Structure 1
């Protein structure tokens, strides 16, 4: 829909006001479908202002542009995109806003945080998109038979590789399936460095180390997530000693290898997120541990229109060990709708936005082509617009994936991310790290 002129809009509002007055001033409830909710949610010709707390900083600009497009399609609604401060978990920020009595209409949360707000957020079970969700996408956000969250994206992570750099290193076409063990990975690192490039960069952010890398040790305990959950319960109860845990020690052996080949080895805590994207995009390093959310930043530095993909993080020298050839992925980032402070009109406008994302061409374009998101909806058939998304879809098609740990405690990344940073910098040894992991889990209720 084209944006109408200000004069035409004024005339339209005046006519609507007269019509509503002629009907006794009644205000019909906003429609739940994407076409009707935005326009009817405005009440008697007035604007409804809604807001979304965004915790995916890498798509802030794209979200702001999408909000303007949504507003053009729904003239009765104004949508503000609020950015969660860098380094702050969405749980912390949302909790602070609730404490101040001014929560946003919508909040983008990590999966594990949805339950903490279940008494404050809207039941979304009746929304049409529930029937179009990919399998198991709402199992972790459904309580007492009610789904409380909109699944925003499927995200995966592992070693991102710059294919032209690796092609040069191996003297041909690099095939990620050839990396089945830690020794294979080490040999690849050596080949990259022999070609004149640096093997990889290890980004030291606590969220990367604490929310993504370390949790691989939990997820690879067993293919059955029920068994993984039992393992976590045993950690909470202090019943599991990690010193001899095969998966954890295997992962840390791989991390030791990463430390050795890290381009920032001499100053391992000095790097920032953008540095990894720059060095990989410019082809100065061959590999970066990160997720598909990093594509917009990599693309901004890629001047050769290169190809990229994922290598899973191997945890042993036995090719068939679970995790060695499986990419880590999960439905991540959920959008919830506040019911404590928002008005019925705001709630309907928020629902309209979620429906717009799933069912309108412009919403789908935002998700797939602008934000480089892999949607969690079967009804969205657009292929991934970027090479990292396509790489993840290839692993999914082959069944080569493990479920990411998406319900970790909110402070896991900060506390154990800090422990991993000490280990990365040499300020703490493996024994200290393992002790801190065990002590952390004993404090989790």
Structure 2
């Protein structure tokens, strides 16, 4: 999730639209290669996957080899989204050139933009084994268009060794279920000689992760969350008097109070967070499980880490106080314009291999360190943050992340959150700027 990049949505949409008129539905330049083309013998098929999760490129390449061993007639090539390019941007460019791959790994919010050009996958067996809500955002008019690859979650990551010392025993994460309880924990950490927490001030962290808790925390019912966002667009929602928004910002005020960089709150870089947490210099960092590879490079706590929810009130029973935010962040779609029926069938076999084959599950969980989106996969991920997410999923304590927000949401409201963090604007200003943003959303 920390790979959010600034792109021009309008420009890219125009590129995509232009590409479709250029390449139409022709199969004339098919990606398929068959041995019969060369020797007249049995058919083989080549398929390609555009990978937008760069940290698992090597693991995917190894998975392609393992998949080929299971299906010798299928060759899978892994392509990579260039660094600094969003998956939507890269996929749009490939469509414009008529070189779209068989499969494309997209962010959840981008799937609907390609709906008319990708295969409907709702009849595949794995739909029935997907975890709750995993298919909601890619199901359009009753049809699912994407394979849910990875679940990612975020909240307050804690270093258990630091917190054990602070509380004088075995820290229980369930004990932090109110804003007041969180502040008491901060006090204990500082009394133990460590810094309570560090706040990473990047606009994507504040605008795409922290603030959306105010939207998703409105209700357990996703239709009510959607209704709240609609009311923001209509200008009828008043954030300044909204209980969840104010509760979330009350917690943010507490976080600001104990932030180790109070003197210069906008100066920390992303790279500093995992170092501080991994070395045990701070007890808590607001971030997601995608940060584990960086944390592990500094780990002195023997992989003892987990997530705490971000409290939104002092009532332990309020929704959000026991939940972390998590959702399927990466989806794989199948092109239907240039792929042959054989390639489409091969892509579907790859999905089945991931979900139902032991080697596929091994790749997903133990090699790629991915939290799976399927109930039938019972392997426990080896990384501690993944384990923590799996525990919250198993307990039903997950608030669905809002992964389909407007493309410029995190840059616009993230800047407003940065202003608040640096005390350049008060809460009334923040509420107004967020409200003004949503009124302009089409």
Q: TM-score range by the shorter chain?
A: 0.7 to 0.9
Residue in 2 that maps onto 1:291 = 288
Listed as ranges, the matches of 1:83-232 within 5 Å are: 83=81, 85-86=83-84, 89-232=86-229
Q: Give the whole-Å Cα distance in 2 for the aligned partners of 1:65 and 1:82.
A: 14
Matches within 5 A, 1:368-383: 368-383=365-380
Match of 2:80 in 1: 82
Is the CA contact 2:60–2:78 (under 8 Å) kept in the aligned structure 1?
no
Q: Deviations over 1:300-345 (max 9, x none)?
A: 2213414111111011222222211222222332111122344444
Residue in 1 that maps onto 2:278: 281
Q: Distance in 2 between matches of 1:90 and 1:440?
A: 25
> C-alpha distance in 1, partners of 2:153/2:37?
53
- Unpaired runs of 5+ residues, structure 1, are 1-15, 28-39, 43-47
Report the secondary structure of 2:271's partner residue: helix
- 1:33 aligned residue: none
Residues 26 and 367 (structure 1 numbering): CA distance in 2 closer, same or farther, change over 3 Å?
Answer: closer
Greater shift, 339-348 or 390-399, is seen at 339-348
> How big is each residue's C-alpha offset from its partner over 1:151-175, in whole Å with a ceiling of 9 and x where there is no partner?
1122221111110100001111111
Find the aligned partners of 1:265 and 1:133 in 2 and give their Cα distance.
43
SS at match of 1:135: coil
Query: Is residue 2:411 matched to residue 1:414?
Result: yes
Q: Report the counterpart of residue 384 of structure 2 in structure 1.
A: 387
* CA distance in 1: counterparts of 2:202 and 2:64, whole angstroms: 29
Once the two structures are superposed, what CA deviation does each residue of 1:393-433 show, in whole Å capped at 9, x if it has no partner?
Answer: 32233332322223222222232223222322334332332
Equivalent position of 1:9 in the other structure = none
8 A Cα contact 1:53 1:104, kept in partner: no
What is the aligned partner in structure 2 of residue 32 from structure 1? none
- In the alignment of these two chains, the number of paired residues is 407
Provide the residue aligned with 2:13 in structure 1: none
Quick check: 2:380–2:387 contact (8 Å CA) kept in 1?
yes
- Give distance in 1, aligned partners of 2:269 and 2:149: 26
**Per-residue deviation, residues 162-215 of structure 1 (Å, max 9, x unmatched):** 101000011111111111211111111111111111111112222222221111
Name the CA distance, whole Å, in 2 between partners of 1:18 and 1:144.
40
The whole-number CA distance in structure 1 between the counterparts of 2:405 and 2:298 is: 32
In the alignment, is the contact (CA less than 8 A) between 1:372 and 1:389 conserved in 2?
Answer: yes
Secondary structure, aligned partner of 2:403: coil
Show CA shifts across 1:233-282 (max 9, x none): 11111111211111112111211222222223333333333321221111
Gap change, CA 1:187 and 1:124, over 3 Å in 2: same
8 Å Cα contact 1:153/1:333 also seen in 2: yes
Name the TM-score, length of structure 1 as normaliser.
0.84
Match of 2:318 among 305, 312, 321: 321
